[in-house]
Structure 1
Amino acid sequence: MDNGLAGRSVYAFGDSIVYGHVYPRSFVDIVTDQHGMTLTKFARNGATIGADPHASGGQIRAQVEEATAVAPDFVLFDGGTNDAQSIFRNQRYDVGTYAGELEKTLETMKGKWPTARIVYVAAHKLGSRDWDTQMALREVTLRACHQWDVAIADVFGETTFDTRDDAQRAEYTFDDLVNGFPGKNGSGTHPNMAGITTFYVPVVSARLEQMSPR
């Protein structure tokens, strides 16, 4: 059945979960390949929503600002993963500052591409981040997305992917490549191919299909 996604364009912003970490392909590559979509990926490892001068990837809003003015059909983005470290471990800023920067990011996306359908991908439950900080960021992020009419592909809420469970951390995440491909036994942050195909792809694909004009 034609789901209306083939030939549609996607811009992808965010951090290493969108970029792929040390592997050049992530869940956005798999999803767009499966649906015959055209992907342009602007995500950077280490990127944050908030402004952390020590974050290696800069701000996600800067990715949006640097992208072409030609509107895509869809925008996919994540955020908050590295912000959780900046807020809890490094104390560079607080949740309120993150919320304000997220508003600016969404405003920039909406203003630059008013016709694009925007999807926030909520990453899985991370054993590698402080739990209370994750929950605080999730609350303000979901609220902002609802206010700005941004759709949510909720891997966090709609799947059992939880790397606080050590077995899941070992099976579904990677830090390094093995024979050129994502391995296993990672820190709990970066999904390997099993994590991507089991948890991310079904949720993101379903959200895009629901939003597609047929």
Structure 2
Amino acid sequence: MNNKLFKKVLATVLAATLLAMPIVAGATDQQEAATSAAAEEIKDAAPVSVGGTVITSDVAGAFSIPASSALAGVAVRQASATIKANLGMAGNEKPFVRAYAITAAKSPAVFASFNGAAASVGATVLGALNIDFGKMTAGKFSDLPAGASVPTTVGVKNANGRTLAVVKVLPGGATEILQDTDTNPNTVTFPITGGLAAYAVIAY
């Protein structure tokens, strides 16, 4: 499949699934999802590139992160073959990550959760993403179970030496703060889990 056709298929799959997401407390709303998919080019990779660091991933995906975002790419830190083996995927299945930037203006409910969690530890929100971790089987996307987990790195512009962490909000509103597991001042590494969740990078 050529690259242009591949991107067109990814865009169709992503837009159709995003439009089907329910509106629930703590999750980005349908308008934000549809706007993100339509307004920004959907790419099949979003390598982390910040402060002289470049991190790539071989895990397939669909990404929409505008240049104006405070975040600079997303990279899954395990090889696709390792994830497949760890999760017992069939030969015709492959891990697939969908990530797109979200904003306070269009997703006020989830940002209320982000801001509340950040304020509780004296931090501020820098930027946020919806990330859906699943698998692709014969061109069809489905979520992986919540127990599936993989370390993922997000690049951060203008971290300015501050301590970074991530606020995770699940559909329904459950919220937790994830600590950065790397030592690079311009990136934050944390586990993403199967299915849809919203993740905000915060700085102390």
Q: TM-score per shorter chain, which class?
A: under 0.3
Q: Structure 2-normalised TM-score?
A: 0.27
Q: Structure 1-normalised TM-score?
A: 0.26
Higher helix share: 1
Higher strand share: 2
